[in-house]
Amino acid sequence: MYQQEYKNIDFNLEPLPDREFENCKFTGCSFSQCTLSNLDFIDCHFEACNFSLAKLPNTGLKTCEFIDCKMTGVDFQPCSDFLFSVSFKGSQLDYSSFFKKKMKKTKFTDCSLKETDFSNVDLSEAVFQNCNMEQAIFSHTNLEKTDFRTAYNYTLNPAENKLKKTKFSTNGLWGLLQQYDIEIE
């Protein structure tokens, strides 16, 4: 499908009409608990869609934008790595996982990322703008030149992650020092 618009469709009740979607717009659609295996989304825009607990085995997300989407518990690790590129604005990604994904320059704006797993992810040059990162997991994560200046509630161990030229605000320093059990006033 090319340049199609889909509005308010529950894809649990109505299967997707094709295997490849290019330059398509999905608004108010539900993909909740759907298995989207071997589908390709290229330059697609998703707005106010529900992807909670969706399964994405070998799903291609190639320059896809998610705005005001609910994506609770989504495991992005099984997505196809070929041209994987996503951005998120105003979306809820709590309890999701990006384990081992290459997400260089990815932008997260006004997102909830509670307990999201970023282990072994390349987030170099990514931007977390005004994101709640409470209990997000960073382990062996490449955070070189990543921007956390307006992110909040994050904690990460500098010894376990690459932090060269990573940007933090002074308000966020507690998230870097928490493991040392010190008091900052």
What is the homologous superfamily of the domain 93-185 according to CATH?
Answer: E3 ubiquitin-protein ligase SopA (2.160.20.80)
The answer to whether the beta carbons of residues 111 and 88 sit under 8 Å apart is yes
Q: Which has the closest alpha carbon to 118: 134, 141, 145?
A: 141
Q: Is 0.75 topped by the overall pTM?
A: yes
145, amino acid identity: K
Backbone angles phi, psi at 177, to 5 degrees: -105, -5
DSSP H helical ranges for the chain: 174-177
End-to-end Cα distance, the chain: 57
Q: Tokens 């072994």 belong to which residue?
A: 120
Cα–Cα distance for residue pair 105/109, rounded to 1 Å: 13
Each residue's pLDDT, cut to its tens digit, for the chain (185 residues) gives: 899 999 999 999 998 988 999 999 999 999 999 999 999 999 999 999 999 999 999 999 999 999 999 999 999 999 999 999 999 999 999 999 999 999 999 999 999 999 999 999 999 999 999 999 999 999 999 999 999 999 999 999 999 999 999 998 877 666 665 665 656 56
Q: How far apart are CA 1 and CA 65, in angstroms?
A: 17
What is the CATH class of 1-92?
mainly beta
Give ranges for CATH 2.160.20.80 in the chain.
Answer: 1-92, 93-185
